[in-house]
Amino acid sequence: MISENDFMSIYQPIQFGDTGDCALQTFEEAIAFAESRGLSPNHVWTVMESGDGDDDSWYVSAGSHLVNRLFYIVTQKPWETGVEDAVWFSVDCESEDDDAEDDENADLFQHQDELPPNVKTLITSYTRQLEEDEGDAYVTCRYFQKALELHGYTFDYGLDGVPSDLRRVCS
């Protein structure tokens, strides 16, 4: 099983829209998205929970799976054997090497250089939306938070729609 960072750099999940999201809710939706880009079904992966009550991490596995499925993703590089597996995100924050993530009080909005590329993309996209006053900031923050939670991060925000205290989700 490969690490989260290795999976991201090797297989390169494809993001859609302005939000940097890559989660597709159905296998059919994932296949259609892959085909619209000229890609085969070997570019579709399933993100799932471990199913182990003691392990809150999420994993990605080649192809379509139903048990413990959370959503599907499409990648630039296809899987080859069908047995490829990787960590999608681990909730074990103690294993992180970055000093800012080890510091419980660090707001990762202030340490974005230490975040995975997909998380940085989400932050850039939603920050732009908030700065350009595109709609209700509170609602935008709600969608922003849900998108980041898919990648193992969350933050706080108030009625003013100002995000703060970005942190890794840990059990």
Residue 166 pLDDT: 92
The pTM assigned to this predicted structure is 0.59
Residue 53 pLDDT: 62
With a CB cutoff of 8 Å and minimum separation 6, the contacts of 130 are 137, 140, 141, 144, 161, 162, 163
Residue 101 pLDDT: 42
Q: What is the pLDDT along the chain (171 residues), one digit of tens a residue?
A: 888 878 888 999 888 766 667 888 899 999 999 999 999 999 999 988 876 666 667 889 999 998 888 889 999 999 999 888 888 766 554 444 444 444 556 789 998 888 887 788 889 888 888 888 767 888 888 888 888 887 788 899 988 889 999 988 764
- SS3 of the chain: CECHHHHHHHHCECCECCCCECCECCHHHHHHHHHHCCCCHHHEEEEEECCCCCCCCEEEEECCCCCCEEEEEEECCCCCCCCCEEEEECCCHHHCCCHHHHCCCCCHHHHHHHCCHHHHHHHHHHHHHHHCCCCCHHHHHHHHHHHHHCCCEEEECCCCCCCEEEEECCC
What is the pairing mode between strands 44-49 and 58-62?
Answer: antiparallel
